[in-house]
Amino acid sequence: MYGFVDTTETATNQGMSIQTVYNGINLDEALTDDEGSFTTLTVAGRGNLNRRINLIDVEGRDGSIETGNTTTDIRTPIIKFKITDKTTAGFRDRISRLKDMAQGNRLKLEFTDEEVFYYATLSELEIPEEESNDLVCTLTFICSDPYAYSNVEETEDLTDISTVNNEGNEAVSPIFELTAIKPATFAMVSNSADEYNLVGYPVDEDGHEEIVDIRPSIFFEDGRTLDDWATTGLKVDDYFNDITGSMTYDGGGIRAAVYGSSDRMHGPAVIKELPTSLQDFEIVTNIDIISDRVADNFRAEIYFFDESMNNLGKIGIKDNSRSRMRRVGMGRAGEYRGGGSGGGYVIGAHNYTHDDLGTTTLMNMSVKREGNLYTFYVARWRNNRHQTTLTSTYRDSAGRYGGRLKYIQIYLGSFKDRTVPRRLRVNNVEVFELKRLTVDQTPYILKAGDVVTFDHEAEEILINGEDSMRLKDFGADFFRLHSGYNQLTVSPEDTFETYLRYTNKYK
Q: Round to whole Å and give the CA distance between 231 and 247.
A: 10
Q: Round to whole Å and give the CA distance between 401 and 374.
A: 10
Element (H, E) at 249: strand 246-249
Bond preceding residue 492 cis, omega within 30 of 0: yes
Residue 367: name the closest of 311, 443, 325, 319 by CA: 311
The domains located in the chain, with CATH, are 20-146 (2.40.30.200), 150-206+441-506 (2.60.120.860), 217-433 (2.60.120.200)
Instruction: Give the list of residues 6+ apart from residue 6 with CB closer than 8 angstroms, or none.
Output: none
How much is the pLDDT for 239? 74
Q: Round to whole Å and give the CA distance between 489 and 474.
A: 19
Q: Per-residue pLDDT tens, the chain, 507 aa: give them.
A: 333 334 333 333 344 589 999 999 999 999 999 999 999 999 999 888 888 888 888 888 888 888 878 888 899 999 999 999 999 999 999 999 999 999 999 999 999 999 999 999 999 999 998 888 999 999 999 999 999 999 888 999 999 999 999 999 899 999 999 999 999 999 999 998 789 999 999 987 666 788 999 999 999 999 999 999 999 999 999 778 899 999 999 999 999 999 999 999 999 999 999 999 999 999 999 999 999 899 999 999 999 999 999 999 999 999 999 889 999 999 999 998 875 446 789 999 999 999 988 899 999 999 999 999 999 999 999 988 999 999 999 999 999 999 999 999 999 999 999 999 999 999 999 999 999 988 888 999 999 999 999 999 999 999 999 999 999 999 999 999 999 999 999 999 999 999 999 999 998
How much is the pLDDT for 207? 64
Q: Which amino acid is at 490?
A: V
217-274 pLDDT, tens digit per residue, is: 999 999 999 999 999 999 999 778 899 999 999 999 999 999 999 999 999 999 999 9
Q: Round to whole Å and give the CA distance between 144 and 121.
A: 8
- The secondary structure of residue 238, as a DSSP letter, is T
How much is the pLDDT for 8? 39
170-223 pLDDT, tens digit per residue, is: 999 999 999 999 999 999 999 987 899 999 999 876 667 889 999 999 999 999
The beta-strand segments (E) located in 45-115 are 51-56, 65-72, 78-85, 107-111
How much is the pLDDT for 73? 87
Q: Which amino acid is at 233?
A: G
Distances (CA, A) of 218 to 275, 431, 447: 7, 6, 14
Instruction: Give the list of residues 6+ apart from residue 321 with CB closer than 8 angstroms, or none.
Output: 294, 355
Determine how many CB atoms are found less than 10 A away from the CB of residue 106.
13
How much is the pLDDT for 2? 36
Exposed e or buried b per residue across 172-183, where buried means at least 16 C-beta atoms within 10 angstroms of its C-beta? bbbbbbbebeee
How much is the pLDDT for 340? 46
Q: Round to whole Å and give the CA distance between 390 and 381.
A: 13
